[in-house]
């Protein structure tokens, strides 16, 4: 992960994607509401939370104990400032590498647009981390860019030894369905689909994306809600 790039982006642009929740949080909320799952009293972990826009959205909908984690101190500073103004007591933000989070289990784990900025080794580490942190009957919620993403596919310099990875302004990895099924084989998928959307950004520009949405439970205890 290009931490210096993201620190600079948050420092210069602050809320890069605005204050509204991202597509992963919206899709997660939709799934949980439609499935009739009660989130009351559960622990929610947002890996790669950025400045917290998804966590604020989900914690406002559900009575959960919410933790946001990001390696960028700049992002966490923005999130903590927002938290102080909101006076919410069911949330906290930590500046940490995701590999260092060990206080599981968590009932809900969200990783929105994080897998796509990790190197091959880091993606494997993320899978191991999620497996170790997720409660036996918990839910994992992932969004990550598809190989069909029109914004990034084939743009920049190809990364040797890591297919579908590119470096333009920063590193980005695009995923195929087979890859995600393999890497997250410890989950029983409840939902797995490509999602096309327009993403607003600071300064008024809009990006056209196609992402995978994956919602799953641990295989050994995975069962339909």
Q: What is the rounded CA–CA span in Å between residue 29 and residue 23?
A: 10
Q: What angle do CA 181, 50, 35 make, to 5 degrees?
A: 50
What are the structural domains of the chain?
A: 3-218 (3.40.50.150)
What's the pLDDT score for residue 220? 74
> Which residues lie closer than 8 Å to 146 by C-beta, 6 or more apart?
174, 175, 176, 194, 210, 211, 212
Claim: this prediction has a pTM higher than 0.75: yes
What does the mean pLDDT of the chain come to? 93
Answer yes or no: is pLDDT of 225 > 50. no
E strands, 55-123, in order: 65-70, 91-95, 106-112
Q: Which region holds residue 161: left if phi is over 0, alpha if psi is between -120 and 50, else beta?
A: left
Residue 222: which pLDDT band, with cuts at 50, 70 and 90?
very low
Tell me the pLDDT tens digit for each residue of 154-179: 999 999 999 999 999 899 999 999 99
Between 92 and 38, residue with greater pLDDT: 92
């Amino acid at each position: 992960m290009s931490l210096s790039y993201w620190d600079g982006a948050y420092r210069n642009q602050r809320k890069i994607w605005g204050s509204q929740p991202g597509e992963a949080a919206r899709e997660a909320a939709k799934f949980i509401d439609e499935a009739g799952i009660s989130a009351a009293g559960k622990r929610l972990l947002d890996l790669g939370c950025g400045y917290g826009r998804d966590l604020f959205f989900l914690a406002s909908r559900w009575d959960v104990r919410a933790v946001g984690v990001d390696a960028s101190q700049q992002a966490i500073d923005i999130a903590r400032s927002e938290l102080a103004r909101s006076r919410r007591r069911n949330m906290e933000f930590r500046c940490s590498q995701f590999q260092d989070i060990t206080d599981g289990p968590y009932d809900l784990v969200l990783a929105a647009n994080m897998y796509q900025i990790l190197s091959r080794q880091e993606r494997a580490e993320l899978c191991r981390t999620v497996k170790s942190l997720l409660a036996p009957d918990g839910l994992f919620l992932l969004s990550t860019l598809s190989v069909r993403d029109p914004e990034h596919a084939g743009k920049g310099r190809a990364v040797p030894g890591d297919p579908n990875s590119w470096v333009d302004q920063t590193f980005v990895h695009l995923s195929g369905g087979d890859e995600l099924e393999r890497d997250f084989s410890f989950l029983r998928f409840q939902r797995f689909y490509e999602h096309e959307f327009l993403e607003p950004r600071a300064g008024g520009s809009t990006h056209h994306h196609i992402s995978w949405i994956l919602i799953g439970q641990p295989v050994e205890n995975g069962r339909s809600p």
